[in-house]
Structure 1
Amino acid sequence: MTAKTSSYIGRFAPTPSGHLHFGSLVAALASYLDARSVGGRWLVRMEDLDPPREEPGAQTAILKALEAYGFEWDGEMVRQSDRHAAYAEVLDNLFNHGLAYACTCSRKQLEAYGGIYPGLCRNAGHDSADAAIRLRVPELSYHFIDRVQGEYRQHLGREVGDFVIRRRDGLYAYQLAVVLDDAWQGITDIVRGADLLDSTPRQLYLQELLGLRHPRYLHLPLITQPDGNKLGKSYRSPPLPEDQATPLLLRALRALGQQPDSALHDATAQDVLNWGIAHWDANLIPRTLTLPEAQLQ
C-alpha cells in the first residue's frame, strides 16, 4: 500500500455497545489513514469491559462492517475481556502501595459534588471487597499538545479528584484498561474522538505513575447535528450499510477536511482508502464539525 516504513503503531478501539455508525467510521478512517500514510501498523482492539452494556452480536457486526469498508488490520484483534489478569496485577500493586484505595460512596452521596470526587473515603481504610477502587491523584495540572485541538490543560485535584480504576461491581474502568493496553500493544499514536479529550490527563498521570511512555494524541471533532446533539449510537445514528461503503467513506473524508477527487464516486472502497492514504493531511482536520441535515440521512 505504501513504500514507507515507520515505527508508528495506531489502533481503532470500538466499544461493542452497538453497531458502527457514521461517527465511528470517521474515527476508524482517521486512525487508519494516519497510520497507513506513514507506513505504520494499525490494530483493532475490542473494548468490551462492560458486559451489561454490550449488544449481542455487536462485535461480529463491527468487524464485518470494517471488512466491508475495506479496512485491513495488522495481527489478531485483542479483546479487553481477555486482559483481566493484567489489569488485576497492576491494580493490586497500586492498592498495596497506597496509591489507590477502596471507596464505598454511592452515586447518591456524590450527586452534590458535580462529578469531582471530594475524597470522602481517601483515608477511611475500607476493605477492597464490595468497594470501588480509586486512584489517588496529585494536586497538579497536566497538559499536552493535541494534534488537532491544540494545548489542553487540566488540574487533576480540582477538576477530577481521585478517579475510579475498578468499579464496585468488579468491572475494570476504562482509564486503567486503556493505558495498560496501549502500552502493552506499543501504541505510539492515539486517534480518537474529542469526547475523550478530558480523559487524557488522567491517562497521562497513570502512564507517569507506571513508568509508561506517552503516546501522541489526535482528538477528532465530534460530529454534531444542526440542533447541537452529538452523532452517536443513542441518537439518530443508523448502523453503517454495507452497500454504501464508497459514498460514506467519501463523506467521512470530507468531514475530516480532506478533498477527495470527484472521480472516486464510482470507485471501490479500496480505491477510496488508497487515495486517502496517498493524500492524507491531518493538518486539514477541523476542530469542530457540524454536518448539514442532508448528510445525516
Structure 2
Amino acid sequence: MTSAGRFAPSPSGELHVGNLRTAILAWLFAKSSGRDFLLRVEDLDRARSGAEAEQLRDLQAVGVRWDAAVVRQTERAKLYEAAIARLTADGRTYECFCTRREIQEAPSAPHAPQGAYPGTCRRLSHAEREIRRATRPASIRLRAEVSEWGVEDQLHGHYVGVVDDFVLRRNDGVTAYNLAVVVDDAQQGIDQVVRGDDLLSSTPRQAYLATLLGLPVPEYAHVPLVVNNDGVRLAKRDGAVTLGDLAAVGIPAERVRDLILESLQLPAAPLLDALPHFTPQNVPKTPWVWTTPRA
C-alpha cells in the first residue's frame, strides 16, 4: 500500500484561514516526503448540508489537490464495528452508563486532565449493568491497561500524554473520533498525520489504540494554530476569515494562499512552485496571528 499523508476536515461549515493553512501544511509535508495526499471527510458528527462541497471548493481554490477519491467516514461503519468487536473479544471494552455531568463531577486521579474518565463503570457486576441498561443506553469504552503513552512528533519531540478509558462508541451508536481516526488512517495507508497542535493531547490515546489493534502508528507533526489578535484560536466570529468572506472584501483565494505561504517563510507562488523551498524543520513553532489584510 502506498504511504500517504492526509487532511480530514469535519463538514460543519466553511473552512477558515487556520484550516486552510493546516491543509496546505499537510500537503507540503506529504509531497516533500514523496507521499500521496488524501482527503477524508470526517462526517460522523456535525455535518451541515452543503459544507463538504464548500470545503472541497475552497481547498482547490488555494491549490490543494488530492491523489485519490474522497473518503467519507459515514461509509465505513463496518470497519469501525469490526475493530470494536476485536477489542471486545480480547476483553478490552466495557459498557459505560455515565452522563457527561457525572463524569465532570466525579473525583479523578491527580494527574488526569479535566474530563478524563474516572473508571466509574469499569468494575460493574453483570447485575449492575442489567439495572443500568433499563434506564439509559450504554457507550462502549476502552479498558486501558496504561495511564499514559508516549509518541514522537516532528515538531514537539517526545510527548507523553494521559490515556484513560476513552469512548469507542457513543451511547447514540455513533463511533467516537479516537477509534474512527485510527481505523481510517491504517486502512488508507496513511503513515503521516499533520494536523493542528490542539489535537496533540489526544494523540497518545490514538497511538495506544493502534498498538492494541496491531496497526502501525503514523508519523506525527502537530503544527501551530492560527490565532486572532488576542491570541485565541481563530474562529469564524473573528470577521473575514473564510475565502467567501475575504472575496467579498476584495481579497481573492490566490492572495490568501500567498499570505499563508509567507507565514511559513515560503515564496508566494502556486503550491507546486513553493514545494521545493519547504522543509519540515523550518516550520514556525509559534502560532500565526491573523489580521485581515486590506484589499
TM tier, shorter chain? 0.7 to 0.9
Segment drifting more, 71-80 vs 110-119? 110-119
**108-117 vs 96-105, which deviates more?**
108-117
The alpha-carbon deviation at position 273 of structure 1 amounts to 0.6
The answer to whether structure 1 residue 119 and structure 2 residue 119 are counterparts is: yes
- Over the aligned positions, Cα root-mean-square deviation in angstroms equals 2.2
Q: Return the letter of the residue paired with 1:279.
A: H
Q: Is the 8 A contact 2:5 2:37 kept in 1?
A: yes
Q: 1:70-81 residue pairs with structure 2 within 5 A?
A: 70-81=63-74
Q: How does 1:1-297 map to 2 (within 5 A)?
A: 8-50=3-45, 53-113=46-106, 114-124=114-124, 125=126, 126=129, 130-156=137-163, 161-233=164-236, 235-236=238-239, 238-241=241-244, 244-256=252-264, 258-260=265-267, 264=268, 271-291=269-289, 293-295=291-293
Give 1:245 deviation, angstroms: 2.0
Write the distance in 2 (CA, Å) between the matches of 1:71 and 1:167: 33
Report how many residues are paired. 276
Q: 1:293 is paired with a residue of what secondary structure?
A: coil
Q: Which runs of 5+ in 1 are unaligned?
A: 1-5, 265-270
Deviation per CA, 1:209-255: give whole Å up to 9, x if none: 00111110000101121212111346546322367222111111122
1:55 to 1:236, Cα distance in 2 relative to 1, 3 A: farther
Deviation at 1:90, TM superposition (A): 1.3
CA distance in 1, matches of 2:279, 2:271: 14
**Shift in Å, 1:177:** 0.3
How many angstroms does 1:54 deviate by?
1.6
AA in 1 matched with 2:259: R
Unaligned ranges ≥5, structure 2: 107-113
CA separation of 1:233 and 1:168: change in aligned 2, threshold 3 A? farther
TM-score, normalised with respect to structure 2: 0.87
Deviations 1:163-203 (A, max 9, x none): 01111111110000000000000011111000110111001
Contact 2:3 2:189 in 1 (8 A): no
User: Comparing 16-25 with 117-126, which one deviates more in the overlay?
Assistant: 117-126
The answer to whether the 8 Å contact 1:166/1:172 transfers is yes
Percent sequence identity is 41
Q: Is the 8 A contact 2:4 2:37 kept in 1?
A: yes
CA apart distance, 1:39: 2.9
Q: Contact conserved, 1:9 with 1:41, CA < 8 A, in 2? A: yes
